[in-house]
Amino acid sequence: MGALLISFSCAVHAATPATSAVIKRADAAHFTLRDGTQIVGKLEIKNVEVATVYGILTVPLDDVVRIRIGKKSDRELKTKIDKFIADLGSKDFAVRDTATVELAKLGRMAYTELRKASFSDDQEVKERTNKLIDEIGVLDDEADIPCEDDEVMTPTFTIVGVVKFETLAIATKFGPLKVVKKDLAVMSLAEPQKISRTVSVPARSTAGRMIATGVRVKRGDRLVINASGTVSYRNYGGTQFTPEGSSNYGAWNENFQIGSLLGRINAGGPMFKVGERYNDKIETDGELFLGIATHDSGSTYGSGEFKVRIQIQPATP
């Protein structure tokens, strides 16, 4: 059983209702089941009880941002994952192959165990686990990685332990629904928060040397970018390029105007033009990279930078 984690800010805000200015309540709760099913509805409870090493804690539902159900709630699942991970090192090829197929079906639920197994001294185990991790995709947000214990998150602290319910009664527009705890992955009660960040893209950050912005996106998120500033390169006669680039010098990589601001999701993802303004939904999970459409050889003699404001509007389940 986990411990109670309370940040210092909890004491500072102890006299203030947690939801007053920190989170915006959603009209209805969003439930994600372990098989990926999405449910929208309202809970028919007022409080959430969590068993911790310090005793039972009661949290008003109005103060809850998110609840994550740990894998320990499903002992059969944990046993199954551990068995298949062990089978990856079997001397029997058929057993190894079956384990790989079954772990692929479990997907993100086996992510933590796969990450540990990827450091195995057994080369085949390492190769199989890394391939499975690649198939699962990027789990950027810690909340995407299934936890071991249950977690109840509020704006000021997170409680780790065992949430005291076996089934949840949910009122949906199609009628009442009951969900068994072990089938539930995440329950969100607050609206997704927008992410905003401003980064600089210097002239030396060419399309071949893109910078990692540290901004993580997920499939379905809306990416909004506004860019300004100028860069120049000696091999282009000192021309001042805006993020839109210029058609006077041909195209870089046959697709993009020289000097234009480019983006890609993940280091190996396809490039797309950002320009001065970009607004579109993202089709894959990963980190945003930015660079300028020009040849690496000329970047040594470049100057200036683009100022780029990045906003992420999270997808609604």
Q: Considering Cα of 149, then 153, then 156, then 161, what sign does the dihedral take? A: negative
- If one looks up domain 195-313 in CATH, what number appears? 2.60.120.430
pLDDT < 50 positions in the chain = 1-23, 138, 140-142
- pLDDT number for residue 315: 74
- pLDDT number for residue 193: 59
- 216 Rama class: left (phi>0) / alpha (psi -120 to 50) / beta: beta
Residue ranges, comma separated, of all CATH 1.25.10.10 domains in the chain are 73-136
- pLDDT number for residue 263: 95
> Which CATH entry fits the domain spanning 73-136: 1.25.10.10, 1.20.140.10, 3.90.550.10, 1.20.1440.230?
1.25.10.10
- pLDDT number for residue 5: 39
How does pLDDT run across 4-62, given as a tens digit for each residue? 333 333 322 233 333 333 445 556 788 888 877 888 899 888 899 999 988 999 999 88
Q: Is there a contact between 278 and 223 (Cβ–Cβ < 8 Å)? A: yes
- pLDDT number for residue 292: 94
Q: Any residues with CB less than 8 A from the CB of 79 and at least 6 apart, and which? A: none
Measure the CA–CA gap between 223 and 283, rounded to whole angstroms.
10
How does pLDDT run across 108-143, given as a tens digit for each residue? 788 888 888 888 888 889 889 888 877 765 454 445
pTM for this one? 0.50
Measure the CA–CA gap between 26 and 12, rounded to whole angstroms.
25
Residue ranges, comma separated, of all CATH 2.60.120.430 domains in the chain are 195-313
